């Protein structure tokens, strides 16, 4: 059994798309209230790690414990109900639904999510455009909507895939504020991020991935000492 | 006889009425096809056979079990929906990951088996089904005589199509369906049991065909090939309306019925082909269909 405070424990996770073996034995643990990033180059297996947690890959083996429940044999639609919110890299805004329908779409998975009023207060743009088609929003607004959507459900373990990708600095700044707010609320976040300068100040820990392996774990206070090493892994 | 610039209004409105009735059946059947195609990406060739099955079940219920028309109108679609759920669960789902050609061939095969079975059991001549006593007779309108049962067909199919459209476009359940159509994997990730919704949707889409079959029993003769005759036209209508568009399937169904009716009056020789002519024109001008989204 997991000890209290442990929200996500992954051991020896392998994942496959058809014949290709993508993840080669991932191990990681995330404690309640932590914000942890997955760094690495494109194709290192970071997005696949999130998808494997959601049971969205072809096949997976190993152990994934979420909020104290073993989920490796669980059907995909049951995983969210353990308190998991997933924001895909393409944001997953539905074009056949308007903004409000998109916001209200995912079922509540826990009882203490943000209310719609709170969300509209926090993201006034969404309130203004609530009857617009979801995909007519700007990229930044769509990203806010994708975040707001899972905050409404009460999910307390958030898996966020490249949420700053292609967005203007002012939006990225707003997203950083959102993440800090989530941390203050005690939510647990696993963030796949390309933008290291965005992630470094707000994250507690970083895992570095390469070729489907975790090759390095960096604590916040080690960042300066390991900058050189990170640069070689990330190729910046 | 009422004429207007040489047009026989009595005959014209009669053909329009026939067109509207055919259009009602087209709308019900193409709506079912559109719903199924939207979520399952399956072209259900068995939709016509299920329509035929609906008519036969109504006939069998009346003649073997004494179940009247009104009860059959409720019960038969439920039974056919359940049959469809079994078909989806045990025949369609195992090949869900394969090329769409497989499901097309599978449902085509199911249609042939059902049609063959009922030809074997009842022959191909067609069975009569009496109009329910409450709906016999008719109303005299200025230009035409409107039989009550025909009016009923138009009204009830509009009600059923309209409520289906409302559920899909305006309710939370409908939002699940629309979103599931777009990105089933993400919907699973949000905690929605997409396979269950898929099965129920297939059941409902096919039940619509069963409903149309019961409705058709008193006006068309109940025969094993009634489904295959109408299905080709319905496919043309789905193509004209745009694959997967719910409102498009309903409107196009009614519209094509009316166009067919008008053609029967003005140039009867073309009435059997006019819908295919429209299909060709629509495909040339707007390949995604009148109401379809460009891919």
Provide the shortest C-alpha distance from residue A148 to chain B (in Å): 13
C-alpha distances in Å from residue B267, one per residue of B15, B21, B180: 12, 19, 44
Would an 8 Å CB–CB cutoff place B294 in contact with chain A? no
Would an 8 Å CB–CB cutoff place B181 in contact with chain A? yes
Domains along the sequence of chain A with CATH:
34-56+79-234 (3.40.50.300)
pLDDT in tens, B194-244: 989 999 999 999 999 999 999 999 998 899 999 888 998 998 998 898 876
Contact across the interface for B190 and A80, Cβ inside 8 Å: yes
Contact across the interface for B191 and A88, Cβ inside 8 Å: no
Percent helix, strand and coil across chain B, each to the nearest 5: 75, 5, 20
pLDDT of res. A236: 58
- pLDDT band at A2; cut points 50, 70, 90: very low
Q: Tell me which residue has tokens 């109108």.
A: B73
Domains along the sequence of chain B with CATH:
13-285 (1.10.3470)
pLDDT of res. A51: 93
- Selected residue of B185, B187, B191, B197 to mutate for chain A interface (largest A Cβ count, 10 A): B191
- DSSP-derived letter for residue A113 is P
Provide the shortest C-alpha distance from residue B286 to chain A (in Å): 20
pLDDT of res. A159: 95
Which of chain B's residues have a Cβ under 8 Å away from the Cβ of A81? 191
Would an 8 Å CB–CB cutoff place B178 in contact with chain A? yes
- The answer to whether residue A3 scores a pLDDT higher than 70 is no
Report A:81-120 residues touching B (Cβ under 8 A): 81, 86, 88, 92, 94-97, 101, 104-107, 109
pLDDT in tens, B154-190: 999 999 999 999 999 889 899 998 898 889 899 999 9
What element of type H or E holds A69?
strand A69-70
- pLDDT band at B267; cut points 50, 70, 90: confident
Average pLDDT estimate for A186-199? 89
Contact across the interface for A54 and B189, Cβ inside 8 Å: yes
Q: Compute the half-sphere exposure of residue A55: CA atoms within 13 Å on the CB side of its CA.
A: 22
Provide the shortest C-alpha distance from residue A173 to chain B (in Å): 27
Which of chain B's residues have a Cβ under 8 Å away from the Cβ of A92? 183, 186
pLDDT of res. B136: 82
Contact across the interface for A107 and B191, Cβ inside 8 Å: yes
Who's near B130: CB < 8 A, 6+ residues apart? B218
Contact across the interface for A107 and B182, Cβ inside 8 Å: no
C-alpha distances in Å from residue B268, one per residue of B8, B81, B240, B282: 14, 37, 22, 22
- pLDDT band at B1; cut points 50, 70, 90: low
Across the interface, which of B176, B186, B194 has its CB nearest the CB of A92? B186
The tokens of B139 are what?
A: 């109303």
Would an 8 Å CB–CB cutoff place A148 in contact with chain B? no
- pLDDT band at A1; cut points 50, 70, 90: very low
| B114 touches B52 (CB < 8 A) | yes
Average pLDDT estimate for B122-137? 86
Chain-wide mean pLDDT for chain A? 90
Which of chain B's residues have a Cβ under 8 Å away from the Cβ of A80? 189-191
- The answer to whether residue B84 scores a pLDDT higher than 60 is yes
- pLDDT band at B3; cut points 50, 70, 90: low
Which of chain A's residues have a Cβ under 8 Å away from the Cβ of B247? none
- pLDDT band at A18; cut points 50, 70, 90: confident
pLDDT of res. B2: 62
- pLDDT band at A9; cut points 50, 70, 90: very high
Which of chain B's residues have a Cβ under 8 Å away from the Cβ of A52? none
Shortest CA distance from A101: residue in chain B: B175
Who's near A104: CB < 8 A, 6+ residues apart? A116, A152, B172, B175
pTM of the model: 0.85
- The answer to whether residue A21 scores a pLDDT higher than 80 is yes
């Amino acid at each position: 059994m997991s000890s209290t405070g442990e929200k996500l424990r992954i051991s020896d996770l392998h994942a496959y798309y058809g014949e290709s073996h993508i993840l080669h034995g991932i191990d990681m643990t995330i404690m309640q209230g932590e914000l942890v990033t997955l760094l690495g180059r494109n194709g290192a297996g970071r997005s696949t790690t999130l998808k494997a947690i959601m049971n969205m890959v072809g096949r997976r083996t190993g152990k994934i414990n979420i909020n104290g429940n073993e989920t490796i044999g669980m059907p995909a639609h049951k995983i969210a109900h353990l308190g998991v919110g997933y924001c895909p890299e393409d944001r997953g805004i539905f074009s056949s639904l308007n903004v409000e329908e998109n916001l209200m779409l995912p079922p509540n998975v826990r009882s203490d999510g943000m209310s719609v009023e709170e969300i509209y207060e926090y993201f006034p743009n969404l309130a203004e455009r609530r009857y617009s088609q979801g995909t007519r929003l700007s990229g930044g607004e769509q990203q806010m909507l994708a975040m707001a959507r899972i905050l409404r459900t009460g999910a307390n373990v958030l898996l966020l895939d490249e949420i700053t990708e292609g967005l203007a600095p002012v939006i990225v700044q707003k997203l950083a504020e959102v993440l800090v707010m989530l941390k203050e609320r005690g939510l647990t976040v696993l963030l796949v991020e390309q933008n290291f300068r965005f992630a470094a100040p707000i994250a507690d820990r970083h895992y570095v991935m390469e070729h489907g392996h975790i090759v390095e774990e960096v604590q916040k206070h080690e960042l300066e000492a390991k900058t050189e090493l990170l640069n070689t892994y990330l190729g910046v | 006889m009422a004429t207007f610039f040489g047009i026989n209004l009595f005959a014209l409105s009669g053909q329009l009425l026939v067109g509207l009735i055919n259009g009602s059946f087209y709308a019900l059947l193409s709506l079912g096809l559109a719903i199924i195609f939207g979520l399952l990406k399956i072209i259900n060739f068995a939709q016509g056979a299920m329509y035929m099955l609906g008519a036969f079940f109504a006939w069998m219920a009346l003649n073997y079990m004494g179940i009247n028309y009104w009860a059959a109108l409720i019960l038969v679609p439920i039974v056919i929906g359940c049959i469809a759920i079994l078909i989806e669960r045990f025949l369609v789902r195992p090949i869900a990951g394969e090329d769409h050609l497989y499901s097309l061939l599978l449902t085509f095969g199911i249609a042939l088996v059902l049609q063959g079975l009922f030809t074997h059991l009842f022959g191909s001549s067609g069975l009569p089904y009496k109009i329910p006593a409450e709906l016999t007779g008719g109303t005299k309108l200025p230009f035409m005589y409107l039989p009550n049962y025909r009016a009923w067909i138009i009204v009830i199919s509009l009600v059923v199509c309209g409520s289906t459209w409302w559920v899909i476009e305006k309710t939370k359940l409908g939002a699940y369906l629309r979103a599931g159509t777009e990105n089933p994997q993400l919907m699973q990730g949000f905690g929605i049991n997409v396979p269950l919704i898929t099965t129920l949707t297939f059941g409902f889409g096919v039940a619509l065909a069963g409903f149309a079959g019961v409705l058709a029993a008193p006006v068309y003769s109940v025969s094993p090939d009634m489904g295959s005759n109408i299905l080709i036209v319905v496919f043309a209508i789905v193509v004209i309306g745009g694959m997967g568009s719910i409102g498009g399937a309903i409107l196009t169904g009614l519209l094509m019925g009316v166009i067919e009716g008008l053609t029967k009056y003005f140039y009867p020789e073309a009435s059997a082909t006019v819908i295919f002519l429209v299909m060709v024109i629509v495909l040339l001008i707007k390949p995604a269909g009148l109401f379809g989204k460009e891919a």
